[in-house]
Structure 1
Amino acid sequence: MKILVTGAAGFIGSNLAEKLAKRGDSVVGLDNFNDYYDPAKKRANEQRLIAYPNFRMVEQDIRQRQAMFDLFETEKFDAVAHLAAMAGVRNAVLHPDLYVQVNLNGTQNLMDATRTVGGVQNFVMASTSSVYGNTTQIPFVETDNCDRPLQPYAAAKRAAEMLGHAYHHLYGLNFTVLRFFTVYGPNGRPDMMAYLVAESVAKGVQIPLYDGGQMYRDWTFVEDITDGVVAALDRPLGYEIINLGRGEPTLLKEFVQMIETLGGRAANVVHKPRLAADFVKNQADISKARRLLGYNPQISVAEGVQRFWEWYEKTILSESPT
């Protein structure tokens, strides 16, 4: 297949693009290399990807509507894995307009290019467990209304999910929504909790720990997540919303302690109250993913944290000045 991976220079996108390239797909990556975090990290991901002869990167912004039409017209994609987005729940509170422009309007540009140019058999969009808000229905199940988002990031993602249904209904677009739960692993973003804790343990960097770490997250290793995305790309399903997590939430405090044990010292944390944009617990019901995608996460949290720490030591600490 010829597959467009948006956000291909990012954390999950680069891991997905590499997996698709390794299996022999023709992969076009799309990324705007913005400065939400150090673009050098994205350039490093790009260098890893362009080593594959069946991968190439396009530097462009999904908000540029005509550029998206031109790209689809030129490339004739078979499938789209749409992972490009402005990430970061707390940053979305400060910049709600940007999150709506990218995560909703940018997504619509891609869907319009898809339906206008034609040829795309399957559109898979990365969404988030944040759309569930402070639901009392735990584990989170896809039939939840998800109509009370706690911040603009979740609201824009939920709006894009709903727009996808309209495009499926009107234009016959196969549209699969994958709601990612707390993803971590190699090549992680420096604003993500696992990376922040590693930095704090290794370098003494001060980080906030909200609510004493008394929040449960369904930590899911990136390898399992990308397996789920590949399965969704291979299975046009009409319109479906599917959770991708482990289904086994871990207390944030315990996750921090795992990294502290591996690093041999305590993280330098500053305790702060839980923010209004945060929820207390997320846990995925993954029975639908198992049934429709054959999804079966393999990496336990203990093994995943070990793999993440080994990558951090080898890749990040080895590059740090002594």
Structure 2
Amino acid sequence: MNILITGVNGFLGRNIAKKLSDAGFKILGIDIQKKAISKYLDQYDSGSILDKKFISSKIAEVDIVIHLAAITAHEEIIDKKYQTLDINLDGTKNVLSAFNSSKKAKKFIYASTGKVYGKISELPLAEKSTTDPINILGKSKLIAERLIDFYSTNDKTYITFRIFQAYGAGQVDHFLIPTIIKQINFDNRDKQKITLGDIKAKRDYIHVDDIADAFSLAISTEIETGNETFNLSSGLALSAEEIVNQIEDLFDLRIDIQSDQSLFRYDEESIEFGSYAKAESYLGWKPKLSIREGLAKTIKEL
């Protein structure tokens, strides 16, 4: 079975490619960089999902499309707001159109985000919870989900994963956990200082290995309704302060956290965490790694 991964050079793409390659699938990856980063690809092509002819030619070769290509880092979105809309919306529309036109491709798997929920009225967040995103990432991903609903047909399968706070080795420094780790000297047993933003805001952290497992299960599982959405979450909310405390305990460290208000994000809720009950029911998926296990694995693999 041939699988196309858009955005394959990204954090999720590299890890999903490895998981699926190890399972014996033939992986075709595309991204805008000239060269592939992952060594787990059978074929790599450089190109943009904004190029309709390019994306159509690639999707014509495969059975399954995993669409990851997007701008997702908070700082990059702020700097490239209109480019974010181009990639996250027009690019997704091009991928969907090419997928629907393909006679061979039968399953479309999309990486959305827990940020589509936005203003929170109930916890934990479930797939039927109100969606009212408050930042550009959440808004663009929710519109992309609506595009999937619009393009969906009865003879193909569409799966959307609302991924909460992904983490793991190899993630760029824009995100919280790598921001914490890069500031720590793990050989220093004296008290050391690190600087973060809002250390009280609570998020739901899910290790990239568990995310890759979900994509693998989505490939092997038949979805009777043809179009379903699933949370990929841990079901647990943790603050930056609690993450640091876990690292202190794991590595016998003493860390003093300085909270810098200039690093606060005011376009996010103070607490969010999701239920993975639907993914467990439909796909047999649930996270295997606790936050403690995931942090230990992440730091060991650096």
Q: TM-score, normalising length from structure 2?
A: 0.90
For the structure 1 residues 286 and 267, does the alpha-carbon distance in structure 2 shift closer, same or farther, using more than 3 Å as the test?
A: same
Q: Which residue does the alignment assign to 2:67? A: 82
CA contact (8 A) 2:13 2:68 kept: yes
Q: SS of the counterpart of 1:92?
A: helix
Q: Aligned letter for 2:227?
A: Y
Q: Is 1:252 paired with 2:235?
A: no
CA contact (8 A) 1:103 1:156 kept: yes
Q: Which residue does the alignment assign to 1:177? A: 160
Q: Is 1:193 paired with 2:176?
A: yes
CA contact (8 A) 1:200 1:268 kept: no
d(CA) in 1 for partners of 2:166, 2:150: 28
Q: Aligned letter for 1:7?
A: G
Residue by residue, what CA displacement relative to the aligned partner does 1:65-110 show, whole Å, maximum 9, x if unpaired?
Answer: 211112223x2x1111111111113432332211111111111111
Residue by residue, what CA displacement relative to the aligned partner does 1:199-253 show, whole Å, maximum 9, x if unpaired?
Answer: 111398964322xx11111111111111111111222421111001111222221
d(CA) in 2 for partners of 1:102, 1:71: 17
Q: Which residue does the alignment assign to 1:222? A: 208
Q: Which residue does the alignment assign to 1:56? A: 43
Q: SS of the counterpart of 2:183?
A: helix
Q: Is 1:103 paired with 2:103?
A: no
d(CA) in 2 for partners of 1:252, 1:187: 19
Q: Which residue does the alignment assign to 1:92? A: 77
1:139 is displaced (CA, Å) by 0.4
Residue by residue, what CA displacement relative to the aligned partner does 1:159-178 show, whole Å, maximum 9, x if unpaired?
Answer: 11011011115x64311110
d(CA) in 1 for partners of 2:103, 2:236: 40
Structure 2 residues without counterparts, runs of 5 or longer: 187-191
d(CA) in 2 for partners of 1:199, 1:278: 24
CA contact (8 A) 2:59 2:65 kept: no
d(CA) in 1 for partners of 2:23, 2:244: 35
Q: Among residues 283, 298, 301, which one is paired with 1:293 in the alignment?
A: 283
CA contact (8 A) 2:234 2:287 kept: yes
d(CA) in 2 for partners of 1:158, 1:302: 31
CA contact (8 A) 2:74 2:174 kept: no
Q: Aligned letter for 1:115?
A: N
d(CA) in 2 for partners of 1:79, 1:267: 47
Q: Which residue does the alignment assign to 1:311? A: 301
d(CA) in 1 for partners of 2:248, 2:238: 15
Q: How does 1:1-322 map to 2 (within 5 A)?
A: 1-33=1-33, 45-46=37-38, 48-50=39-41, 55-73=42-60, 75=61, 77-146=62-131, 148-169=132-153, 172-202=155-185, 207-210=195-198, 213-237=199-223, 238-261=226-249, 262=251, 264-266=253-255, 269-272=258-261, 274-312=264-302
Residue by residue, what CA displacement relative to the aligned partner does 1:251-280 show, whole Å, maximum 9, x if unpaired?
Answer: 221112323453835366442164221211
Q: TM-score, normalising length from structure 1?
A: 0.84
Q: Aligned letter for 2:269?
A: F
Higher helix share: 1
d(CA) in 2 for partners of 1:197, 1:260: 11
d(CA) in 2 for partners of 1:118, 1:140: 36
Q: SS of the counterpart of 2:300?
A: helix
**How many residues were matched structurally?**
293
For the structure 1 residues 265 and 176, does the alpha-carbon distance in structure 2 shift closer, same or farther, using more than 3 Å as the test?
A: same
- Please provide the CA RMSD for this pair: 2.2
Identical columns (%): 25
Q: SS of the counterpart of 1:67?
A: helix
Q: SS of the counterpart of 1:138?
A: coil
d(CA) in 1 for partners of 2:124, 2:203: 11
d(CA) in 2 for partners of 1:49, 1:23: 11
d(CA) in 2 for partners of 1:80, 1:288: 22
For the structure 1 residues 131 and 30, does the alpha-carbon distance in structure 2 shift closer, same or farther, using more than 3 Å as the test?
A: same
Q: Which residue does the alignment assign to 2:189? A: none
d(CA) in 2 for partners of 1:267, 1:65: 51
d(CA) in 2 for partners of 1:122, 1:71: 15
